[in-house]
Amino acid sequence: MCDSCLPPPPAARLMRPNRRHLLALGLGGVVLGAPLRAFAEGGAPEAAALTGDECAPFNAGMQAVMTPDEAVERLIAGHQRFQAGASLQCDLRAEALATAEKQTPFACILSCIDSRVAPELIFNQQIGDIFCARVAGNVPTTEIVGSFEYATKVAGAKAIMVLGHSHCGAVKGAIDEAEVGDNLTDLLRLMEPAIQVTPLEGERSSHNHPFVEAVAQANVRVGVQTLLMMSAVIRELVEAGELRLVGAYYDIDTLELRLLETGT
Ligand SMILES: [Zn+2]
């Protein structure tokens, strides 16, 4: 081999080019159209695609073999890529076209509307991967619970994550008993149960930082239990081992994600 020649790629990669390699060569948009369609049609899942370590629309074949635990692990793996600055940069246009006829997401996330906590970004998921419901303070409402009943029972998602976060303005407003119009005031009151179950040291104030963070975490736990209480559909899926319901807390200072003990 000449000194200036590039070393040959490993045999496996010669046989089936990795999507990232093709993208690096500027071939992703052209060469990957067919494989993407194959995934969308339910082709046999590959390990890396199942865990989300490679760009590929999540399809029915992958959803069929994924366990609820694996669904949570895929979310965590995606967050780890984001936290490490190693998020996959997938061809979203190709994925949108590949999933146009059918979507089979693997998980649902209930998150706050906070602009710093966009689930698809901080979990590095792509088009067709996850259902997201967002509302200030990530509280389950009837409409959100109904949406997740569709996402799980009908569309087959294997996990639901209730995601809280640090420095949550909605939690702060609830603690301060802010009153801003009928709708926002009613929404903030939905967090009162989380405030009531949180031990208070010092004053009840949004300036009491440890209390704000503790309430935000309690609000996740209350949210998980509320989902279970409100929905027989979700409860039965969890009891049957077909769905995992988890609570998580995202620190916007450190980008760390922590699963919370929620009693599920
Ligand atoms: Zn928030």
Per-residue pLDDT band for 165 (boundaries 50, 70, 90) equals very high
Predicted pLDDT of residue 47: 67
Return mean pLDDT, the chain. 86
Q: Measure 50 CA to ligand 1 centroid, in angstroms.
A: 30
Residue 207 annotated as part of some ligand binding site: no
Segment 74-80 shows an average pLDDT of: 97
CA of 170 to the centre of ligand 1 (A): 5
- Tell me the per-residue pLDDT of 184-229, one tens digit each, with 9 for 90 and over: 999 999 999 999 999 999 999 999 999 999 999 999 999 999 999 9
Asked if residues 107 and 245 have their Cβ atoms less than 8 Å apart, the reply is no
Indicate if the pLDDT at residue 49 is higher than 90.
Answer: no
Phi, then psi, of 81 in degrees rounded to 5: -65, -45
Host domain of residue 88: 36-260
| Any domain includes 24 | no
Q: List pLDDT tens digits, range 94-147.
A: 999 999 999 999 999 999 999 999 999 999 999 999 999 999 999 999 999 999
Taking the centre of ligand 1 as the mean of its atom positions, its distance from the CA of residue 9, in whole angstroms, is 46
CA 85 to centroid of ligand 1, rounded, Å: 23
Going by pLDDT thresholds of 50, 70 and 90, the confidence category of residue 264 is: confident
Q: How far is the CA of 63 from the centre of ligand 1 (A)?
A: 30
What distance in angstroms lies between residue 49's CA and the mean position of ligand 1's atoms? 31
- Is 168 labelled a binding residue? yes
10 CA from centroid of ligand 1 (Å): 46
Pairwise pLDDT comparison (13 vs 152), residue with the higher score: 152
Q: What is the CATH number of the domain that holds 251?
A: 3.40.1050.10
Q: For residue 19, is it within any domain?
A: no
Annotated ligand binding at 2? The verdict is no
Contacts of residue 173, Cβ cutoff 8 Å, sequence gap at least 6: 180, 184, 188, 206
Task: Tell me how far apart the alpha carbons of residues 158 and 73 are, in angstroms, rounded to a whole number.
Answer: 11
- Among 9-13, 46-50, 147-151, where is mean pLDDT lowest? 9-13
* The two structure tokens encoding residue 40: 């969308």
Kindly tell me if the per-residue pLDDT of 242 is higher than 50. yes
Question: Is 4 inside a domain boundary?
Answer: no
Whole-number percent of the chain with pLDDT over 90: 76
Give the residue with greater pLDDT, 112 vs 49.
Answer: 112
pLDDT band at 46 (very low <50, low <70, confident <90, very high): low
Q: Is 112 annotated as ligand-binding? A: yes
pLDDT at 35: 35
Distance 252 CA to ligand 1 centre (A): 10
List, as ranges, residues with CB under 5 A of the ion ligand 1. Answer: 112, 114, 168, 170
Buried-exposed string 63-96: b where 16+ CB fall within 10 A, e elsewhere: beebebebbbbbbebbbeebeeeebbebbeebbe
What is the distance in A from the centroid of ligand 1 to the CA of 117? 8
Cα 23 to ligand 1 centroid, rounded to whole Å: 36
In the reported structure, the alpha carbon of residue 153 is separated from the centroid of ligand 1 by a whole-number distance in angstroms of 28
Per-residue confidence (pLDDT) for residue 263, from 0 to 100? 78
d(CA 236, ligand 1 centre) in Å? 29
Question: What are the DSSP E strand ranges found in 77-136?
Answer: 107-111, 130-134
Q: Report the pLDDT averaged over residues 63-83.
A: 97
13: phi then psi, degrees, rounded to nearest 5: -75, -30
Tally the residues of the chain: 264
- Residue 15 belongs to a domain: no
Q: Report which of residues 146 and 37 the model is more confident about.
A: 146
> Is residue 14 very low, low, confident or very high in pLDDT (cuts 50, 70, 90)?
very low
- Residue 161 in domain: yes
Q: pTM of the full predicted structure?
A: 0.82
Residue 202 lies in a domain: yes
Within a domain: residue 238? yes
What is the domain count for the chain? Answer: 1
In a domain, 27, yes or no: no
pLDDT of residue 42: 47
